[in-house]
Structure 1
Amino acid sequence: MSDSRLFKILYYLLKNGTTTVKELAEIFEVSTRTIHRDIDSLSSAGIPICTSRGRHGGVYIMNNFILDKSVFSAEEKDQILTAINDFSFILDEDTNDLLNKLSAIFNTNARNWIEVDLSNWRYNKPSQDIFNSIKFAILDKKIISFEYYSKGNSTYRKIEPIKLLFKNYNWYIYGFCLLRNDYRLFKLSRINNLKVLDDKFERCDETSSIVDNAFYNQNLVPVKLMFDKSISYRVFDEFDKSEIEIDDEYLIVNTNLPSNDYLFSYLLSFGSNVELLEPYNLREEFKKVIKEISRKYFTL
């Protein structure tokens, strides 16, 4: 007897209502005797499947069984279906089938009232093959290896993968790097030639606090920025309103940013529409960066 077939019969009855033994036998390519045995098995498991004879008879599940027996409220069912639908981009390609099955089991329809797309406009989500490979490596506790591009060069890494994270519009893999002998974050878009190795690891996942703080344990410094109002749409997109002061010509932002390469590259993304006012030492360093860029484009 196939447990998979039992579930499919249950799913078919939930979705389609009344059917016949003959129809089920044809759909699942088994004998009517086998279908009768399957129905008995489902009934023994507590599923109230009824059979009746006559022109309007057939095989069906008692009305309202799912709602009466479910441990979820109607609101919880909607939350589950919505969560799966709106994060389907990180699930397997069978997500639609999963949604249909859960909708039938919950005796409700998935409400597609919101769509969540965590990628930005320019870049697509990470390769599904890479994402799935890392996901299964995490679940199977298998070491992964890859070539990683950072600051103008590439290094070969082997890590014990722990968690996939989405932060600041980018996907990262967090794990224990065997090259650095420490926990590290790696941006998926910088990974090349990913391989899932046969080697397994036994390291316990005791790093939740480290993961939570990985993005915040950077050297943040208070900065004062002045933006042209022509770029105000981006300023309000990327900074909290409490950090923004508005005057007649400019937007003044007082915030904290990492004092590393990210700061200057981030400011440069605003072109000539931003000026770093404070702190003075970073302003002077930024001026040097701008001069070096200008020198590359200088012609006689």
Structure 2
Amino acid sequence: MKLQRLISIIYKLLNHDILSASMLAEEYGVSARTIYRDMDTIGAAGFPVVSHQGSQGGYGMIDGYKLDKSLLGSHDVASLITVLHSLSTMFEDTQVQETIERLQSIEHVHQLPRLDINFQSYHTDTHLLQLLRQAIAEQQVVQFDYINASNERTTRELEPSRIYFKYGAWYVAGYCRSRQSVREFRLSRMLSTVLRDQHFTIRQHEVPSHTAVHIEQPATLLQPEQPISHTSTEVVIRINQNAIANALDQFQHAERQFHSDGSMTIRILLQQPKQTKWLYGTLLSFGENAEVLHPPEVRATMRQKLHQMLERYEHDKPNLL
């Protein structure tokens, strides 16, 4: 019991500036004298415990003290390195890489990780992530056009507060000046994002449970990246106004052109598009809101698949036997 209490107190000292003996005694159900003895034990074990005098005094760790390898096992270090490596890849953060190197020196963890976390996908715009991270760090306003779930396009000004990953997609939350409230935006639906020459003071707010973006189910990842080569074919697709948001989610890296009637044309480069099965499944999911304009063979294949679907509905009642 004493050992568990000592370990718990060490972690508390590492995560707080000053802790009073009376507070610790009350939390662990022991006397203040027992806490004094615990501090002596912790100090004798090599931890630089400092005593602060006065009404606001108590105990703390010496400034600049770093975690000793005895507090982190190789499994803990490997897990931290895995997460940090994923983030450093996304944000190209040299400071995170330096942290990884320091962690590796604790237990000499250089073997391949057993667990790998990849936050990047073909829906991820790393440049936008880095721009938003810069905006948060420098408290700088960002401006962008946004396509909401109703496929409406509006211009927004945001005081970003945090970026997070959920349901297989990246989001940014903050105070929306355009709506004068806290909002959440899905990065794949943000267009023409720029940093404004305006800075803001951090507001005391929380991201509400009911946010501006509502997703009933995680987005399906359908569009694998295709290497561009001389044999690639450009596929041109016209998207109806009612499906703009869905198209932005599914074809984020496509070249986009918006039209005055609210529709959008996208262009993607694919190798052998006629044999690309995921493309037809995705296009069929759009129903009447998508039309292949080019090339003719892809358009013909879509027509063939639609005829095959219609043949299944020629009879009024299906044969259930």
Q: TM-score, normalised by structure 2?
A: 0.42
Q: TM-score, normalised by structure 1?
A: 0.44
Flag the structure with higher helix content: 1
